[in-house]
Each structure stands twice: as structure tokens, then as C-alpha cells.
């Protein structure tokens, strides 16, 4: 009887110790509050949405509640996208969170996102704005808002084991190298030619023909200045760049130097009621879109019309879009001269 009591006592102690060890191990796992939310928002195909099923924008600072959780659960894979930094933003954040916390769940989620990006890449090297949804302009190769550049920077970080991406499984390195190689090939092929001379890039391209394409009605097929900056910065990342990459960079820079608009800024008028060009002798800006043949600024409207004066489009569009900007200033004045010195 005594021996049985001893065995029972030992068994109870073993269970207690096991539970205590499990609880101690569980509490030792560090977490990151934003990364935890990203795990919840991640779609079944590994990507992330920029908007939920009801159209609400994904904001990680928004507290989770039952209503929001229901919206997240209702959001399907058709919302998977690289637009507005979606998916690339989360992969970057989760990799950094893993480095900080050593929480394996974050690395697994990031690698699922990388798998999505690899799968979404076209054979020609481009990426669609959305995948697998191919409706309207979502299947087009999309440089707009740095969508593809954000993806290519991740792939290059994996390939070179940089910016915390050394934590990613080494099996991804060769895959990322291949994705970067094909991506650069797509960039070089889509640089728009004028009389055989390379200029800059359009914001979107047909995924089959690689010809520039329109997106929304007010975003016509055109030379797109905002996107150029991110593309050139990506190409400037490479040590010992090929002659093709050097030429792509220098030709784009030359085009920008030739299309500067000096002496104006695009802001609210003094009465605060409308926006337009205002004289400013210190300002240097560029239009968002330029005509392929003439290099003159063009402006689209919701009715699919194209104007050559921003004052001629609707009030709503004139005041609701970045028609002019100083996007390339740092690139032209600081980054490119530094790069050129290293790559004469």
C-alpha cells in the first residue's frame, strides 16, 4: 500500500512539473503586438489584403474586436495584392519581428508571404497588382506606387542576405536570385523608347504584350514620373552593374533632367478653395504623367478624358490626386551623382 502511495505521489509530481515546464516555456515566447495582428490578417494563400471584404482599409493600429474579426474572416484570397505596400510591408515587418523576438510563427508567416510572391511572378519577370484576381486592370504588370519595386527589394534582400533577411531559410536564396534576374529583364524590356532612345517607364503594362496600359480612368497610359524614382533606386543597388543597367539608369536620369518644370509648385491657392500651379522661383517639379510622343504633361479624369492642362479636369480630381511632385529631386541631386562616381 505504501509503495502504491509513493507511485501515485511521484506521478502527481511528474504531471505538476511537466505543466510548470510547459507554462514556463510558453511564457518565454516573446511577441510583437503588430506582428500578432499581421498573423490574423494573413490570407490562406500567404498574402495580405490592402482592403477587407467590405472595402475598409487594413490598419494595424485599429483595435481588434468581434466586428472587425468577422470582416477579416470574410476576406478571401481575391483580395491578395502587392498594391499600397500590402504583403511586402508585412513580410518586412515579420522578418524584423522574428529577429527581435525569435518567435518562429513570424518567420513562418513571412516565408508563406515570400512563397506567394514567387508564385505570383509572371514568366516575363513582372508581377500583377493582384493575384489571383485578374479582373479589370489588376492583372497588369504594375510599377505604380512602387508595387513591383517593393517586391524586388525583398527578393534582392533574400538573395544577398541583407536587411535582416539572412534569417529566411537558405532554400529561398536561389529562388530569389532567379526572381530578381527575371525582374530586371522585365524592367529593361519595359523602359519606354522614343525614336529608339530609352526614356523612363509607364505605371502599368499589359502582362502579355508588355505595352503600356491604363489603369483607372484618370490614370492614362503614359510616362509616369513617380514610379521612375523607385525603379532607378532599385537598379542602383547592384554592385558592378551591367552595361544594360547603367544605360537604363543614365537614360532615365537624362530624361528627367530634360523635363524639369522650373519656377512653379502645385499647391492650394491662397483662398484655399482649389489647387493649381503657383509661381515660385525656387521650385522644381515634374508632372505625374507625360505624353509618350511629346513629353508634355497630361491629366486624366474620371470620364476617361485626357487634358493637357490640370485646370481643365474636374475639381474633384484636381484636388484628389498628386498631379505634380518633386519625387526625383534627391535622386538627381544626391543619389545619382554618388552612384555615378562609383560607376563611371
Catalytic positions, written as ranges: 84, 216
Task: Please provide the size of the chain in residues.
Answer: 344
Chain centroid offset of residue 127 CA: 11
Question: Cα separations (Å) of 119 from 116, 123, 131, 146?
Answer: 5, 10, 9, 19
Contact between 234 and 149 (Cβ < 8 Å): yes
88-101 vs 33-41: helix axis angle to the nearest 10? 140
Cell of 321: 490626386
Contact between 286 and 260 (Cβ < 8 Å): yes
Contact between 53 and 76 (Cβ < 8 Å): yes
Chain centroid offset of residue 209 CA: 23
Amino acid at each position: 500500500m505504501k509503495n502504491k502511495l509513493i507511485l501515485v505521489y511521484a506521478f502527481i509530481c511528474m504531471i505538476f512539473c511537466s505543466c510548470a515546464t510547459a507554462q514556463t516555456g510558453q511564457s518565454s515566447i516573446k511577441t510583437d503586438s503588430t506582428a500578432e495582428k499581421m498573423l490574423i490578417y494573413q490570407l490562406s494563400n500567404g498574402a495580405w489584403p490592402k482592403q477587407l471584404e467590405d472595402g475598409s482599409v487594413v490598419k494595424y493600429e485599429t483595435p481588434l474586436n468581434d466586428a472587425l474579426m468577422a470582416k477579416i474572416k470574410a476576406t478571401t484570397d481575391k483580395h491578395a495584392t502587392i498594391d499600397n505596400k500590402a504583403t511586402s510591408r508585412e513580410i518586412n515587418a515579420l522578418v524584423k519581428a522574428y529577429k527581435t523576438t525569435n518567435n518562429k510563427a513570424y518567420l513562418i508567416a513571412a516565408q508563406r508571404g515570400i512563397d506567394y510572391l514567387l508564385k505570383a511572378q509572371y514568366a516575363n519577370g513582372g508581377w500583377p497588382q493582384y493575384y489571383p484576381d485578374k479582373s479589370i486592370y489588376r492583372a497588369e504588370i504594375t510599377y505604380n506606387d512602387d508595387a513591383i519595386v517593393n517586391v524586388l527589394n525583398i527578393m534582392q534582400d533574400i538573395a544577398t542576405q541583407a536587411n535582416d533577411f539572412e534569417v529566411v531559410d537558405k532554400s529561398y536564396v536561389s529562388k530569389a536570385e532567379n526572381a530578381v534576374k527575371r525582374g530586371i529583364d522585365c524592367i529593361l524590356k519595359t523602359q519606354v523608347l522614343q525614336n529608339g532612345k530609352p526614356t523612363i517607364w509607364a505605371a502599368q503594362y499589359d502582362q502579355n504584350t508588355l505595352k503600356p496600359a491604363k489603369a483607372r480612368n484618370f490614370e492614362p497610359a503614359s510616362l509616369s514620373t513617380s514610379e521612375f524614382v523607385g525603379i532607378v533606386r532599385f537598379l542602383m543597388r547592384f554592385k558592378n552593374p551591367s552595361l544594360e543597367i547603367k544605360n537604363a539608369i543614365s537614360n532615365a536620369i537624362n530624361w528627367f533632367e530634360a523635363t524639369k518644370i522650373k519656377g512653379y509648385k502645385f499647391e492650394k491657392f491662397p483662398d484655399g478653395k482649389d489647387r493649381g500651379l503657383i509661381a515660385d522661383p525656387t521650385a522644381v517639379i515634374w508632372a505625374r504623367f507625360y505624353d509618350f510622343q511629346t513629353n508634355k504633361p497630361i491629366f486624366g479624369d474620371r470620364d476617361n478624358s485626357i487634358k493637357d492642362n490640370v485646370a481643365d479636369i474636374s475639381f474633384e480630381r484636381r484636388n484628389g490626386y498628386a498631379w505634380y511632385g518633386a519625387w526625383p529631386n534627391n535622386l538627381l541631386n544626391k543619389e545619382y551623382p554618388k552612384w555615378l562616381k562609383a560607376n563611371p
